[in-house]
Chains A and B, each alone.
Chain A
Amino acid sequence: MIDATKLLEAAKQLNNGRNGNPPDVEAIRRAVSTAYYALFHALLKEGAERFVGPNNTSAAFETIYRGFDHSQINRVFIAIDKQTLSDSYKRRLRRSAVSQDIRDFAAIFVPLQELRHLADYSPLTQISQSEAADLIDEAESALQILTSADPNEKADLLALMLAGARAT
């Protein structure tokens, strides 16, 4: 199993530098990318455990875990990161707005995903060590939010993310 907390620890180590020296630019980029993947895998684990069951080594668990898609997660989080949901999302989620916890998670996940793309693929993007440290702090906060958020609300969102374009 991929441990999101350990991924975040890896991100911190990358961003802290080595032997008292500041991190090089590549380490900062890897730190940002790793912080994003900590959140991504935490979501996938939530989904697979919810829909298949915890402590599961079945093929179904892996299928559901790997059934999530970066783009679809992005679309759902952008759609719900607002004070009042669109009519379409109100109908699908059977609520007029998501909880503050879920909105906070979305507001951390979406920009971190964008920064992950830049960190991995954009040679001109500059990310400082302090900005990376802030992003890692945010990812750590988001992991706590995900743990404490309402299980049924999380399940509704995860189902929407899994169902893909047909549902959204």
Chain B
Amino acid sequence: MSLSHEQLLSIGKEAATEIIGNIENVDVETGTNEEGHPAYYFKLRINQSDDKAHATLLRTRLRQRIRDLLIAENDGRYPYVRILGKTHDRCDKAS
């Protein structure tokens, strides 16, 4: 079963709001991973905690929450979730 783009965006927003408490932007694309299996590619922009360990834990939980919400919709595609948004005063140079 494949979810609509709107449903996927909703899942990203729901998970981020629940786990992180905020969401600036969410985007998602459908594709195949390096193994050739169907997958989702989420990009979430959020405001992260200044506490590195806490921020790391929340990012992990956020990925798991998106995975769980997808499975709850009978969608087993793996969500690759890139989380953008500064944790610290890290200068930000894109490659």
Nearest-Cβ distance from residue B32 to partner chain A, whole angstroms:
11
- Cα-based distance from A21 to B81 in the complex (angstroms): 29
The interface bits of chain B over 39-73 (1 if a CB of A lies within 8 angstroms of the residue's CB, else 0) are 00000000010001101110110011001100100
Give the dominant DSSP class at A's interface: helix
Any B CB within 8 A of the CB of A99: no
Number of B interface residues in the complex (CB < 8 A): 32
Complex alpha-carbon distance, A104 and B65, angstroms: 12
Whether the Cβ atoms of A115 and B71 lie closer than 8 Å is no
Known: A104-B60, A128-B95. A81 touches B90 (CB 8 A): no
CA distance in complex: A126, B82 (Å): 11
- Roughly how many angstroms separate A110 CA and B33 CA in the complex, as a whole number? 11
Binds B, one of A22-30, A47-55, A88-96, A154-162: A22-30
Residue B34 CB within 8 A of the other chain = yes
29 contacts between A and B (CB under 8 A): A22-B93, A23-B93, A25-B93, A28-B95, A74-B34, A78-B37, A81-B64, A107-B63, A107-B67, A108-B60, A111-B63, A111-B80, A111-B82, A114-B34, A114-B80, A115-B82, A126-B95, A128-B84, A128-B93, A129-B90, A129-B91, A130-B90, A131-B84, A133-B88, A134-B56, A134-B59, A137-B52, A137-B56, A141-B53
